[in-house]
Amino acid sequence: MRFKSASTIRTDPYRAGAEIGDALREIVPEVILLFASISYEQAFTDLFDGIGDSLGSTAALIFGGTGDGIYETSRVSNYGVCALGIHSGGKLRWSAAFEKGVSADSYSAARTCALKALSQVDGQAGCAFVLADGTKADGSRIVAGINSVLRIPYFGGLTGDDRKFTRSRVLLNGQGLEDVVAILMASGEVSHSINAASGWSPIGTTGIIEECEGNSIRRISGVSAQTFMKEQLGKPLGEADLGIIPLATYPSEGTGCFSLRTPSHLDPHTGAINLFGSIDQGTSVRVCTATREEVIKGVSIALEGLNLEKAEGIAAVVISCAGRKWLLEDQGKGEVERILATLGRKIPLVGFPSFGEIGPFRKPDGTYTGTFFHNVTFVVCTIGG
Amino acid sequence: MNYFLLSLVENPPPGFTFKPFLSKHDVRSGPFALFSHSLETAELRLKEMGGFIAGIIVTDSDDYQWGARAFPIFHLGVPPSLRPHLSALLPSFLELLEMIQSYWDKDRNISLELARAVEDRRRLANDFARSRKSLLEEISERKKIKEHQQVLSSLVENSNDMIGIASFDGSLVYLNRAGKKLVGLEDVEDVRTINLRELIFPKHQSALDSIFSALSRSGIWRGEAKYRHYKSGASIPVEVHAFVIRDSKTDQAIAFANISRDVRDRKSMEREMIKGQKLESIGGLAGGIAHDFNNLLTAIAGYVSLAQAQASPEGEVGKHLVAAERTIFRARDLTHQLLTFSRGGTPVKRTVAVGELIRDSAGLALTGSNVRCDIVLAPDLWHVDVDEGQISQVINNLLINACQAMPDGGVIRISSQNETLGINERPPLKEGRYVRISVKDHGIGIPGEHLPKIFDPYFTTKQKGNGLGLATSYAIIKKHEGSILVESKLGVGATFHFYLPASRNKNARQIGPEVKTQKGEGRILVMDDVEAVREVATNMLRSLGYTTADASDGVEALELYRESMETGKPFDAVILDLTVPGGMGGQETVRNLLRMDPKAKVIVSSGYSNDGIMADYKVHGFSDVVPKPYNLTQLGDAVGRLLSKPC
């Protein structure tokens, strides 16, 4: 397989696309993973036109989305476009599907989309990449819907904007789509490795969610959700903690691992906390804390869990979190630096800070836990090798 | 601002697309090529669309990669003569294009970053304001909680009871000031180094385990226990209320709290009370016996008295009768001792000067002994309201004990001083003014184990002793609302202190000798349920010159009195016994008598002081009192005194 990454901060969508296409042309990509900042929304078609004009062809399947910035081997930026061109030499069969209506019913939309994508590869999915509109979708329900269909570990994230939480796009074959979930599926012998880690550690006592609705938690272990977090943290939860101070949630499958949920809104009257992503009643939760260093270390933990036996000729796709970026205050450069230091400075790498991450935990024996929806987590997938 | 490039070529290259018309999209997306006849037309056209000419490129079409760039360029025809000149002056198209595009991108990126920074700053400012508000509220609430905690902490620290917290392995976590003082841990810097088991006697360790078990089961334990003083090892009886402290979230028991109250004073008071009750019950029995015995003594004393009146004092019979009378009055003293600590031993009080009382009593008690008495009295001693006979008895008892403690002789020091006692001082008396009298000897001392029992009735270590002296003294002082204490060291001696309330009266009654036997005349009615007493009383009265009548109870006495009034031969005086078992006693009789005859003169007589009637006889309607047993002189004195008073 051949990979090439490229990025540009050209603000003109067409010229940006042309530059990207120009960079990827040499490997004749079958698929292009494309991530752009929301600033290009004025003319996504021009972006695609630029790519197409530069490649001299519109045959490549372009799959991507908007995020709070871009990550690429040579660049980390708040604004720009990055892309990873993939050429499998015909070894992989690709399919892409999308389904609208995540705002109304994320579970059904995700499930339908997964079935569509799966049908296009005759049910033989080797690897899957998921994106959904982060301003409209419920990430927990997206994952639940896909889990009801897919039996393979998969990764992805929720698209976003520049932390305004107003609009985002999933980019698929010439269109910038809203209110959708989309899946890119590869069928065939695709060597890949996925892992997730955050760097946050649970503290305090475990609480049980006693009262919740959707993504709103009202009561935990006899007290309001805000009171519970205040008692555990030793300080009241503030607006500054939104998107950053997470709860570790323990799934019922008892893997011992936890996925994080960060608060998105505090209700001062009821003491309820809204999360980025819904949660089930009866879930065990613990408050988490981390220093900046520990958050960065989460990247190393994620990378350490990957299968890097064949590190030559691989590419990496990174889905980080807008909340991590906000906390680290370095646009994500620290995270990319860790990756390059571990995987090599020339590795083709793309990614973006999302509004929610999707991915499994890779166990030491090489198997995977189920795929979960995360907040403030670093998900990495290496492909090829 | 959009930038547009002009390319001046004579002939555009093949494949080049001319746009004869401009659209707004073209203008926005520029740069692009515009075919126009003249520069002015082009400028006008561009201006309408909001654009302007950025630059003019002069190039040879062969040098430029038109197809690859696909950037339409504005073409303007210029005279060939100008072409080389302009080409030399202007940068190449590509360079200019790059420059403009870079500038454009930079400008746009800066705008985006600036907008983002402003937005972030605004968000941070809002977050900060909200966080600050909630933190200030939190701080305010924590201050209130801290103040409340300080109040509670102060209450706990200043409590008179011991309040402590310990973990279930016994390690102390906290102990308040009173607790530290109680168990002797005031000097221990950190009580957390102490285990509760160090404050419990070894024999009680298993009991402590049982208490822990009870706490684990029920969460609470109440009872009495004993701590071991950390320094001295002394036993400290306490009342304990222990309860479990639970984690508010998990409800797990994490420690236990213990509130202990020192009950030493209460125990001491209980012992005093039990002692008092014991004395009371003994006294009740003794009083009953003394009463009956007194009646018999009255009869004996009366007959001896009558016989003495008829016998010659120098003759053998007279001498025997004197000896008999002395013995009778010694027997009377014994019954008085019994009566004193019985319920009925109410002192008949008068205001006396303490110094005089001490001197008289001391002089009498030490007559014929090898012990000298040293009396030290403070100046201006307050007077006291006392029954002189009883207080003399107390001084007498104490001096006798002191003498017996110094068989080889020595000096007994009696001292007295005024004292004003406050609340909670020793001895435990009401706040007020007192006179303290101390009797100190240098005898063998009293063993420590005897000290708590020394005032118990019949307790004695002497071979010849009835064990009533100190018990009687104790009862007398108690009835005078005072207190008696003892201090002693073996081999050094003993000191008895007793406190008497100071009198408000400034004038004291002089202690003087008895009035001599008086004879008289008149009609006297004697009422007593004991025949022997009636008989001897009437005989004694007749020997003194009175005519008599007698009755066995109050009813009979009233009948006789009425008859005497009706017959015109009224009685001049009536002597009534106070206690008539099964009949009308003296108190009820005198009330009825006075209704019948308000001027009736009535003497009360009893060997059993009952509720202070003998002490406050006037209040109850009596005119005088003569305690039993009485001799001829005492009876004659009382009747003579009464009859000499005007009606």
First to last CA, chain A: 8
Among A265, A288, A285, A283, which residue's Cα sits nearest to residue A275?
A265
Residues of A in contact with B119 (CB under 8 A): 162-164
Report pLDDT for A104.
95
| pLDDT more than 70, % of chain B | 77
Measured between alpha carbons, how far is B463 from B478 in angstroms, rounded to an integer? 27
Contact call for A239 and B130, based on CB within 8 A: yes
Contact call for A238 and B135, based on CB within 8 A: yes
Alpha-carbon distance B112 to nearest alpha carbon in chain A (angstroms) = 8
Report pLDDT for B279.
66
Tell if the pTM clears 0.90, that is, is over it: no
* Share of chain B residues as helix, strand and coil, in percent rounded to the nearest 5: 45, 20, 35
Q: What is the average pLDDT across A95-110?
A: 96
Among A11, A66, A8, which residue's Cα sits nearest to residue A37?
A66
Q: How far from chain centre, in Å, is Cα B278?
A: 27
Non-local CB neighbours of B369 within 8 Å, separated by 6+ positions: B403
Q: What is the Cβ-side half-sphere exposure of residue A43, based on CA atoms within 13 angstroms?
A: 15
Contact call for A238 and B101, based on CB within 8 A: no
- Cβ count near B243 (within 10 Å): 16
| pLDDT(B571) > 90 | yes
Residues of A in contact with B138 (CB under 8 A): 235-236
H or E element, residue B574: strand B573-577
Q: Which of A7, A10, A51, A265 to mutate to test the interface with B (most CBs of B within 10 A)?
A: A10
Report pLDDT for B178.
94
Measured between alpha carbons, how far is A221 from A235 in angstroms, rounded to an integer? 18
Tokens of B126: 């809002």
Tokens of A193: 């490795």
| pLDDT(A201) > 50 | yes
Non-local CB neighbours of B15 within 8 Å, separated by 6+ positions: B66, B67
Measured between alpha carbons, how far is B534 from B551 in angstroms, rounded to an integer? 8
| pLDDT more than 90, % of chain A | 67
Tell me how far CA of residue B274 lies from CA of A291, B281, B467, B487, B592, in angstroms. Answer: 72, 10, 18, 22, 40
| pLDDT(A254) > 70 | no
Most confident of A247-256, B130-139, B171-180, B385-394: B171-180
Q: What is the average pLDDT across A338-346?
A: 90
Report pLDDT for B31.
52
| pLDDT(B159) > 60 | yes
Least confident of A163-172, A260-269, B326-335, B379-388: B326-335
Query: Band of the pLDDT at B10, cuts 50, 70, 90?
Result: very low
Query: Band of the pLDDT at B2, cuts 50, 70, 90?
Result: very low
Among A48, A75, A74, A142, which residue's Cα sits nearest to residue A356?
A142
Residue keyed to tokens 């031969």 = B569
| pLDDT(B253) > 90 | no
Report pLDDT for B17.
47
Contact call for A79 and B131, based on CB within 8 A: no
Residue keyed to tokens 């720009």 = A80
Alpha-carbon distance A240 to nearest alpha carbon in chain B (angstroms) = 5
What does the buried/exposed string (b/e) look like for A21-40 if buried means 16 or more CB atoms within 10 Å of the residue's CB? bbbbbeebbbbbbbbbbbbb
Measured between alpha carbons, how far is B389 from B386 in angstroms, rounded to an integer? 9
Q: How far from chain centre, in Å, is Cα B356?
A: 40
Measured between alpha carbons, how far is A238 from B599 in angstroms, rounded to an integer? 99
Query: Band of the pLDDT at B447, cuts 50, 70, 90?
Result: confident
H or E element, residue B228: strand B220-228
Report pLDDT for B127.
80
| pLDDT(B38) > 60 | no
| pLDDT(A182) > 80 | yes
The 10s digit of each residue's pLDDT in B625-635 is 888 888 888 89
Mean pLDDT computed over every residue of chain B? 80
Most confident of A169-173, A186-190, A308-312: A169-173
Residues of A in contact with B99 (CB under 8 A): none
Which chain A residues touch B if contact means CB-CB below 8 Å?
A: 9-12, 14-15, 37, 39, 46, 53, 78-79, 162-164, 205, 221, 231, 235-236, 238-240, 242
Measured between alpha carbons, how far is B323 from B318 in angstroms, rounded to an integer? 9
Measured between alpha carbons, how far is B86 from B59 in angstroms, rounded to an integer? 9
- Using CB atoms, pick whichever of A14, A79, A238 lies closest to residue B127: A238
Contact call for B101 and A15, based on CB within 8 A: yes
Alpha-carbon distance A239 to nearest alpha carbon in chain B (angstroms) = 5
Report pLDDT for B435.
94
Report pLDDT for B76.
46
Backbone angles phi, psi at A284, to 5 degrees: -85, 140
The interaxial angle of helices B632-644 and B531-543, nearest 10 deg, is: 70
The 10s digit of each residue's pLDDT in B387-445 is 877 888 899 889 988 988 888 888 999 999 999 988 766 677 888 999 999 999 998 89
Contact call for B112 and A46, based on CB within 8 A: no
Tell me how far CA of residue B634 lies from CA of B309, B528, B533, B611, B643, in angstroms. Answer: 14, 17, 15, 23, 14
DSSP symbol at B443 = S
Among B596, B594, B601, B605, which residue's Cα sits nearest to residue B630?
B605
Most confident of B4-8, B63-67, B68-72, B233-237: B233-237
Alpha-carbon distance B69 to nearest alpha carbon in chain A (angstroms) = 9
Check residues B13 and B386 and name the one with the higher pLDDT. Answer: B386
Measured between alpha carbons, how far is B218 from A276 in angstroms, rounded to an integer? 46
Alpha-carbon distance B89 to nearest alpha carbon in chain A (angstroms) = 28
Report pLDDT for B107.
83
| pLDDT(A330) > 70 | yes
Report pLDDT for B69.
41
Report pLDDT for B77.
47
Measured between alpha carbons, how far is B205 from A21 in angstroms, rounded to an integer? 87
| pLDDT(A186) > 50 | yes
Contact call for B138 and A46, based on CB within 8 A: no
With beta carbons less than 8 A apart as the criterion, state whether B224 and B205 touch.
no
Contact call for B105 and A236, based on CB within 8 A: no
Concatenated DSSP letters of A163-214: SS-S---EEETTEEESSEEEEEEEESS--EEEEEE---EEEEEEEEEEEEET
Report pLDDT for B309.
83
Most confident of A112-126, A146-160, A325-339, B295-309: A146-160
| pLDDT(B91) > 60 | no
The 10s digit of each residue's pLDDT in B207-229 is 888 888 888 888 999 999 999 99
Report pLDDT for B9.
44
H or E element, residue B639: helix B632-644
For residue A38, give the 3-state DSSP assignment: helix
DSSP symbol at B195 = B
> What are the start-end ranges of the H helices in A71-158?
106-120, 139-147
Residues of A in contact with B134 (CB under 8 A): 236, 238
H or E element, residue A336: helix A333-343
Alpha-carbon distance B118 to nearest alpha carbon in chain A (angstroms) = 12
Most confident of B315-329, B455-469, B475-489: B475-489
| pLDDT(B74) > 70 | no
Report pLDDT for B392.
85
Find, in chain A, the residue whose alpha carbon is nearest to that of B137.
A236
Strand partners, B350: B386
Report pLDDT for B340.
61
Q: What is the average pLDDT across A27-33?
A: 95
Query: Band of the pLDDT at B70, cuts 50, 70, 90?
Result: very low
For residue B124, give the 3-state DSSP assignment: helix
Tokens of B301: 């004393």
For residue B636, give the 3-state DSSP assignment: helix
Least confident of A359-368, B3-12, B134-143: B3-12
For residue B217, give the 3-state DSSP assignment: helix
- Using CB atoms, pick whichever of A39, A205, A239 lies closest to residue B112: A39
- Using CB atoms, pick whichever of A9, A236, A239 lies closest to residue B105: A9
Report pLDDT for B132.
84
Residues of B in contact with A37 (CB under 8 A): 112
- Using CB atoms, pick whichever of B116, B127, B250 lies closest to residue A78: B116
Measured between alpha carbons, how far is B552 from A365 in angstroms, rounded to an integer? 119
> What are the start-end ranges of the H helices in B524-571?
531-543, 554-566
Q: Which of B69, B108, B132 to mutate to test the interface with A (most CBs of A within 10 A)?
A: B108
Contact call for B127 and A79, based on CB within 8 A: no
